[in-house]
Amino acid sequence: SPSDPDLVARARAAKEKLGDKVFILGHHYQRDEVIEFADVTGDSFKLAKDAAAKPEAEYIVFCGVHFMAESADILTGDDQKVVLPDLAAGCSMADMATAEQVAECWDVLTEAGIAEQVVPVSYMNSSADIKAFTGKHGGTICTSSNAERALNWAFEQGEKILFLPDQHLGRNTAVRDLGMSLDDCVLYNPHKPNGGLTVEELRNAKMILWRGHCSVHGRFSLDSVNDVRERIPGVNVLVHPECKHEVVAAADYVGSTEYIIKALEAAPRGSKWAIGTELNLVRRLANRFAAEDKEIVFLDKTVCFCSTMNRIDLPHLVWTLESLAEGKLINQIQVDRETESFAKLALERMLALP
């Protein structure tokens, strides 16, 4: 539905008043009404790099979820303030790995006598605490666009990887990109004693996958792929690597949101695509490419928006920009210094990946 013209005018006016003092970042899963006001858009890797692109901006308004705003705070100067328009915009996947659970897991690995061989690799979609844990133990962060490089790097540092918190990205990258077998992977369940694994299983594993998943991408199924192939003959199935292994294995193409956009830009006229990622992005792409005669459909109509990404809407953005324009700092996301220093180490290892 079209945005309320009054709110659009207010957002415009407040943004104009703030001028160079504000820098608005928008993740690809954000609503159209929000993306319209973003100075840059991107996937989580691009936004992590772009966050520091405007050091003169006093405020960075992050239209995305909590862990992204934390990462932006870690990667930008102390005088830059990162603001999240709705503090309830979290990520259910990031919440699946708490600092206590991960510390307990490290104790389990230590008791099994393997902690020294293990390099943690944590998905961007994790709290600053988990990133700090990763940095402290010699590991790196990765996103869906550099997971293969991150795993290759980690296997140069040690024999085993503890991959947090998305089991699917970890498994898909290990099997699809590194050619490992499913038997090389074990699943660590933080709700069970010893992760639900025996010492022998831990010692034999190359990839220890944390039992976390995305509540949106995890809902696409093999049936979704089969049904769309039946419905639309000749369709290309393109999915995000946060999808289950069987979905990724059945798809034609797999990649991060930035990859998905580039693939559709390069697609020939008349081609047909079923996309397995967040609905805001898929709808935007379907509209954008309809003019080029590319048919783009959502992989499974029963899957819905990411509810936390969607919390950032035009009213929240207006409230944020108007508050900042009046000199009122609201909803600042600030990571404490100790956590920041170790988390930064892990993020910088990612940014330095070959």
Whichever of 30 and 80 has its CB closer to ligand SF4, that residue is 30
Could you give the string, one character per residue 136-155, with x where binding to ligand SF4 holds by CB under 6 A and - elsewhere? --------------------
The least CB distance from residue 82 to ligand SF4, in Å, is 17
| Number of neighbouring beta carbons within 10 Å of residue 198 | 12
CB of 315 closer than 8 Å to CB of 35? no
Q: Which residues have C-beta within 8 Å of that of residue 237, sequence separation ≥ 6?
A: 225, 228, 229, 250, 251, 252, 253, 273, 274, 276, 299
Q: Which does 172 bind (CB under 5 to 8 A by kind): ligand 13P, ligand SF4, none?
A: none
Alpha helices in 273-313 (DSSP H): 279-290
In sign, the C-alpha dihedral spanning 334, 349, 129, 279 is: positive
Q: Which residues have C-beta within 8 Å of that of residue 116, sequence separation ≥ 6?
A: 158
Instruction: List 123's β-bridge partners, or say none.
Output: 142
Total residues contacting ligand 13P (rule CB under 6 A)?
11
Is 242 marked as a binding-site residue? yes
The least CB distance from residue 44 to ligand SF4, in Å, is 8
Structure tokens at 31: 């609503």
The least CB distance from residue 51 to ligand SF4, in Å, is 17
Binding ligand SF4 by CB under 6 A: which of 224, 308, 310, 331? 308
Could you give the string, one character per residue 190-229, with x where binding to ligand SF4 holds by CB under 6 A and - elsewhere? ------------------------xxx-------------
By CB under 6 A, the residues from 251 to 310 that bind ligand 13P are: 256-257
**DSSP conformation class of 305:** -
Count CA atoms closer than 13 A to 192's CA, side-chain side.
Answer: 10
Q: Which does 129 bind (CB under 5 to 8 A by kind): ligand SF4, ligand 13P, none?
A: none
Binding ligand SF4 by CB under 6 A: which of 3, 92, 189, 204? 92
65 counts as binding ligand SF4 under rule CB under 6 A: yes
The least CB distance from residue 107 to ligand SF4, in Å, is 27
143 counts as binding ligand 13P under rule CB under 6 A: yes
Whichever of 29 and 319 has its CB closer to ligand SF4, that residue is 29
Strand blocks (E) in 169-225: 185-188, 207-210
Whichever of 101 and 280 has its CB closer to ligand SF4, that residue is 280
The least CB distance from residue 150 to ligand SF4, in Å, is 17
Is 256 marked as a binding-site residue? no
278 counts as binding ligand SF4 under rule CB under 6 A: yes
- Strands of the sheet with 207-210, listed across from one edge: 140-142, 118-123, 160-164, 207-210, 185-188
The least CB distance from residue 142 to ligand SF4, in Å, is 14
Q: 151 by DSSP, 3-state: which?
A: helix
Please state, in angstroms and rounded to a whole number, the distance separating the CA atoms of residues 323 and 318.
8
The C-alpha angle with vertex 327 and arms to 323 and 328, in degrees rounded to 5, equals 50
Structure tokens at 10: 């207010």
Backbone angles phi, psi at 48, to 5 degrees: -65, -40
167 counts as binding ligand 13P under rule CB under 6 A: no
144 counts as binding ligand 13P under rule CB under 6 A: yes
Is 104 marked as a binding-site residue? no
Residue type at 19 in one-letter notation: G
Whichever of 203 and 262 has its CB closer to ligand 13P, that residue is 262
Binding positions for iminosuccinate:
27, 44, 123-125, 144, 240-242, 257
Residues in contact with ligand 13P by CB under 6 A are 43-45, 125, 143-145, 214, 242, 256-257
